[in-house]
Amino acid sequence: MKLGFTTLGCPEWTLEQVAANAAACGFDGVELRVADDGLHLRPDATGDEARRVRELFDRAGVPVFALCAYASFSSPDPAALRGNCELTRRLIALAGTLGAGAIRCYGGKFADEERHAVAARAAAALKPLAAEAADRGVAIALETHSYWARGADMMEIVGAVDSPGLGVVFDVNNTFAGTGEWQETYRLIRPRIAYCHLKDDYRGADGRRHHVMLGAGDLPLADVLGRLKRDGFAGFLSFEWEKRWEPRLAPPEEVFPQYVHKVRSVWNG
Amino acid sequence: MKLAVCNEVFSGWSWQQVCAFAAEQGLAGVEIAPMTFAESVTDVPPARRAEIRRVARDNGLEVAALHMILFSPKGLHTNSADAGKRQKAVDYLKALIEFSADIGCPTMIYGSPPTRRLDAGLTYRQARAYFKDSLLKCLDRAAAARVTLCIEPLPGDCTELFNSVEAALGFVMDVNHPNLGLMADTKAMSTESRPVADTIRIFGAELRHVHANDTLGVAPGFGTLDFRPILQALREVRYDGWLSLEPFHFRPDAESNVATSLRYLRAILADLDAAQGAA
């Protein structure tokens, strides 16, 4: 097992600070957020820029293992879907240059459509992209998230594409908090897991879900890590701390070391 | 759960008057702001320290904690970019630890927001590293004196370091010293994104001390916070430490506000006890 974090959790850090602090905290790698807002890299970053970033992280001993990106594949609007496919092609190239093995993407939202139809459309869009990604040693990885938090739903897309270029980011808490289960989803997606997102939250007295440091919320962390360990999971467990969206969350300087300590102590029993 | 009140609430009162009032109110302890005894505790001689301890004991009280510990002398700053200022703060923290031990007080609350602001040009990480280094220079002394230093999370308009219980806990866990702990203030917790009672339920097992303070800095029951779920959460996590009243503003006077506030809190506690008994 290796430890990482998405840079969604440290929006105030520069790339240099991300690399230095990741190493200082004891992480093994970084899931680098790539978004149009420039945190922490733009999808249209040049090859030279990407090479400099790769060198920065490799030199710090915390390589970029994944891109945390926002492409999605459910839109019924052909132009929007085409735009996401073009974005994904840029991300594949970027991941190749950065040496990242995976690109986190979304299945995407939908409204008045049958799930099967949406899954088929997404799979059709993803099939050629997955082939291109596989050729570059990269995998597009759809996150278990909202509409696609259940393993059976996710596998409608991933199974239809059936390519090493398409995998899954198992966001354990998205699945657990959103569906009430995680074991069945894990069983179904296990062969396709590119890496995992770990985060924790709880349902408050106000009825809302509140993010909280790992181990302090509702997530059955010991069960999850115990199962992954028994199954010989050797990939990244990437901490997703949603500081970018919730500025009042505790700073990464406090929760990132706690994450490393917590996961290692639970994992090692 | 033991009830206490902070002594600086009673402006101009002698220590004897504060303790007599606290005893009359049925409190178990008084929390001390050292600046009410001297600008620097190094100016409080051993005989006076012994007297502080004796007066509390004679009134059947414990000294629950020291707080507002670095409000004086001026110029103390534990995470300053200026090494000299940091050393001055460390030296004074050590003096406070000795003072605390001398008056029979086992806990020091580190709120004192002006002394942990970020100097211009420092990142959070740099300031945090300085802060950690300053505390580490004091904690073995605290261990020898059997005093625990507790970090008080405070809102972002007071200080940049540790704006939530979770952030302060992260720091405490990182330092990992038996004489460094966590405390919480109900007013400060009310500025966090989650309900106060939730924060207590999640992190209550880590709390060594609690300040009872309502919104706008008034006494519990005078602001907008509902203390029923707060006290219920403290009961649920089996918190058995101090609940210390720390109001800053009063109308018409401190003693009547404290007495009213205590009636409010005790009524809730009695209700909770009755409900538990019925269950």
Number of H helices, E strands in chain A: 9, 10
CB of B41 less than 8 A from some CB of A? no
Q: Which of helix, strand or coil describes residue B25?
A: coil
* Domain ranges across chain A: 2-267
What is the per-residue pLDDT across A70-109, written as a single tens digit (0 to 9) for each?
Answer: 999 999 999 999 999 999 999 999 999 999 999 999 999 9
Class level of CATH domain A2-267: alpha beta
Beta-ladder partners of A102 = A66, A139
- Checking if the pLDDT of A205 tops 90, the result is no
Q: What is the pLDDT of residue B245?
A: 98
Residue of chain A whose Cα is closest to the Cα of B198? A204
- Give all domains of chain B, ordered by start, each with its CATH number: 2-190+240-246 (3.20.20.150)
B72 falls in which pLDDT band (50, 70, 90)?
very high
**Residue among A246, A249, A261 whose CB faces B173 most closely:** A261
The answer, for A22 touching chain B at a CB cutoff of 8 Å, is: no
Nearest CB neighbour to B193, from listed A12, A210, A258: A210
**Best of A254, A256, A263 to mutate (most B CBs within 10 Å, chain B):** A254
pLDDT classification of A13: cutoffs 50, 70, 90:
very high
Q: Give the model confidence (pLDDT) of B25-47 as tens digits.
A: 999 999 999 999 999 999 999 99
Residue in chain A closest to B193 (alpha carbons) equals A248
Q: What is the pLDDT of residues A159-175, one digit of tens each?
A: 999 999 999 999 999 99
Confidence bin at B276 (pLDDT 50/70/90) = confident
DSSP A250: P
Residues in chain A within 8 Å Cβ distance of B170: 213, 250, 253-255, 257-258
3-state helix, strand, coil in chain B (%, to 5): 50, 15, 35
Beta-carbon separation of A257 and B170 below 8 A: yes
Helix (H) or strand (E) holding B150: strand B148-151
Q: How many residues are there in chain B?
A: 279
Size of interface A-B (CB pairs under 8 A): 67
Taking residues A18-30, what's their average pLDDT? 97
Min Cα separation A209/chain B (Å): 9
CA Rg value for chain A: 17
Q: Cα distance from B151 to chain A (closest Cα, Å)? A: 13
pLDDT digits (tens, 9 = 90+) for B1-30: 999 999 999 999 999 999 999 999 999 999
Angle between helices A252-267 and A15-25 (to 10 degrees): 40
Residue whose C-alpha is closest to residue A29's, from A259, A237, A266, A243? A237
A257 to B169: CB separation less than 8 angstroms, yes or no: no
Sort A55 into a burial class: Cβ within 10 Å, 0-12 / 13-18 / 19+: exposed
On the question of pLDDT at B117 being above 90, the answer is yes
pTM of the model: 0.93
3-state secondary structure of A10: coil
Residues of chain A with C-beta less than 8 angstroms from the C-beta of B173? 257-258, 261
- For residues B230 and A202, what is the distance between their CA atoms, to the nearest angstrom? 18
> Which residues of chain B lie closer than 8 angstroms to A254, CB-CB?
162, 166-171, 174
The answer to whether A254 contacts B195, with C-beta atoms less than 8 Å apart, is no
Asked whether the bond before A252 is cis by omega within 30 degrees of 0, the reply is no
